[in-house]
Amino acid sequence: MASDEFLPIKGMSDIISPEVSLWQLVESRAREVFHAYGLTEIRTPILEREELFIHSLGNTTDVVQKEMFTLDYQGKMRLTLRPEGTAGVIRSLAGAGPDGRQARVYYLGPMFRAERPQAGRRRQFHQIGAELTGEANPLADAECLAMQAHLLKAWGLSQCRIKINTRGLPEDRAVVADGLRTVLKPHLDGLCEDCRRRYEQNVLRVLDCKNPACGKIVEGLPSMTSFMSEASRSYFEEVQYALRLLNLEGEVTPRLVRGLDYYAHTVWEISHPGLGAQDALSGGGRYQIMMNGKPVDGVGFALGMERVLAALNAEGVHAEDLVLRPKAWLVSLGEAALKENLLLAMTLRRLGVACGMDLTARSMKAQMRAAGKSGAAYVLIRGDAEMEKGVFQVKDMVASKQEEQALPEIMSLLLPDITPPPAGG
């Protein structure tokens, strides 16, 4: 058992092979899909001023109240490890002037929240997200959700469930909260302890309480949308129309609530049955964030990388199958062959042929075992006899066949994809 000093900090993990292969695959497919939609990557700092998150996420949210890693920098400022990606991206885009208000960007990277770790929840976790800024437009919301569905499909996830809802116009948020409190007030005694606290602090959360008693009370209440303005309701109708146009199934879920204050209008959540208690793969929606007194509008989503990977595992995609194997393995018998093989390995690598070898001339059996374990397709064996003739014993590890070959033949075996330079070039 590893001693504590070799372990990373609680809730943080080293990402190593073979798992890292899956990360790379997921990230590269994501880049391809984002490119197809005209998004460019944005990389913002991991450390931001604390106020940025307090103002954009809302100072009554749990994320801000008890989950942020904040440090005091020489008594001059309070710096926070970003707990989510949107706030930093919008800060950056707002600073870019008018261009930033019509931007299409994606990001990926680590986020930090000081929660107790559990399945699907780490203190350092990773998100892939997208932000499309621009004034509220139902078509933009639908496009964003469609892009996300496309992404999940590109990863090979087929069992996702999309739930959508609306929070209405930004100015409706207070009206809805007041309305809900009014109709909930007579039932206060029947609510669970948590919900009596939520009633004060974050009344929308009462709607998705898991407690059956609370659920019963909520069922009898008028829906959230009934407190909203006509404009909010018709906006949501148009979003749903656009989703049908794009052939997307979104389950309208009136009790779906997003936790952060900046959400307005369309919100959604995508869950996966293979995940356990934290079954949300992703959340997203339209938002309006005040930056320097001016509103920035946009629509976006964030996917939890670790949860995507867990979902892929649940659907039978395993990192072990994706690990890159060397094309060749060099086996050296004797010191002279060892040195010549090192030189050959460097040459092959410059030509783009991944190859490995043992740097000691230990027993052939041991070297063959290492070759087999590496998964190399071919093994090139060279000893004194081969050195003298200028040849190699070339073993095809899959077919388990071996023949003597000279270097030119070996090159065409290892470099079959090399195309001759264009004529006249």
Partner RNA sequence: GUGGGUGUAGCUCAGUUGGUUAGAGCGAAAGAUUGUGGCUCUUUAGGUCGCGGGUUCGAUCCCCGUCACUCACCCCA
Handedness of CA 326, 332, 338, 344 (dihedral sign): negative
The residue among 351 and 364 lying less far from RNA, judged by its C-beta, is: 364
The minimum distance between CB 177 and RNA, in angstroms, equals 14
> Candidates 69-77, 145-153, 243-251, 383-391 — which segment interacts with RNA by CB under 7 A?
383-391
The minimum distance between CB 344 and RNA, in angstroms, equals 15
The minimum distance between CB 396 and RNA, in angstroms, equals 7
The residue among 182 and 363 lying less far from RNA, judged by its C-beta, is: 363
> Candidates 149-157, 173-181, 313-321, 384-392 — which segment interacts with RNA by CB under 7 A?
384-392
User: Judged by CB under 7 A, does residue 60 bind RNA?
Assistant: no
> Candidates 74-82, 215-223, 340-348, 379-387 — which segment interacts with RNA by CB under 7 A?
379-387
Q: Which of 70, 225, 229, 278 binds RNA (CB under 7 A)?
A: 278
The minimum distance between CB 286 and RNA, in angstroms, equals 13
Q: What does the per-residue mask of binding to RNA show for 182-201, with x meaning CB under 7 A?
A: ------------x---x---
Q: Which of 55, 104, 113, 173 binds RNA (CB under 7 A)?
A: 113
The residue among 57 and 296 lying less far from RNA, judged by its C-beta, is: 57
Q: Which of 108, 132, 381, 410 binds RNA (CB under 7 A)?
A: 381
Number of residues engaging RNA in binding (CB under 7 A): 72
The minimum distance between CB 74 and RNA, in angstroms, equals 25
* HEC per residue, the chain: CCCHHHCCCCCCCCCCCCHHHHHHHHHHHHHHHHHHCCCEECCCCCEEEHHHHHHHHCCCCHHHHHCCCEEEECCCEEEEECCCCHHHHHHHHHHCHHHHHHCEEEEEEEEECCCCCECCECCEEEEEEEEEECCCCHHHHHHHHHHHHHHHHHCCCCCCEEEEEECCCCCHHHHHHHHHHHHHHHHHHHCCHHHHHHHHHCHHHHHHCCCHHHHHHHHCCCCHHHHCCHHHHHHHHHHHHHHHHCCCCCEECCCCCCCCCCEEEEEEEEECCCCCCCCEEEEEEEEEEEECCEEEEEEEEEEEHHHHHHHHHHCCCCHHHHCCCCCEEEEECCHHHHHHHHHHHHHHHHCCCCEEECCCCCCHHHHHHHHHHHCCCEEEEECHHHHHHCCEEEEECCCCEEEEECHHHHHHHHCCCCCCCCCCC
Q: What does the per-residue mask of binding to RNA show for 64-83, with x meaning CB under 7 A?
A: ---x----------------
Helices 19-36 and 138-154: crossing angle in degrees, nearest 10, is 140
- Is residue 238 within 8 A of residue 261, CB to CB? The reply is no
344-363: which residues touch RNA (CB under 7 A)? 362-363
114-173: which residues touch RNA (CB under 7 A)? 115-122, 125, 127
The residue among 205 and 233 lying less far from RNA, judged by its C-beta, is: 205
Burial 351-375 (b: 16+ CB within 10 A, else e): eebbbbbbeebeeeeebbebbeebe
The minimum distance between CB 280 and RNA, in angstroms, equals 4
Q: What does the per-residue mask of binding to RNA show for 40-59, with x meaning CB under 7 A?
A: --------------------
Q: What does the per-residue mask of binding to RNA show for 231-270, with x meaning CB under 7 A?
A: --------------------------xxxx--------x-
Handedness of CA 33, 154, 108, 93 (dihedral sign): positive
Q: Which of 6, 76, 97, 277 binds RNA (CB under 7 A)?
A: 277
The minimum distance between CB 233 and RNA, in angstroms, equals 23
386-415: which residues touch RNA (CB under 7 A)? 386, 393, 395, 397-398, 400, 402
The minimum distance between CB 102 and RNA, in angstroms, equals 24
The minimum distance between CB 421 and RNA, in angstroms, equals 35
User: Judged by CB under 7 A, does residue 282 bind RNA?
Assistant: yes
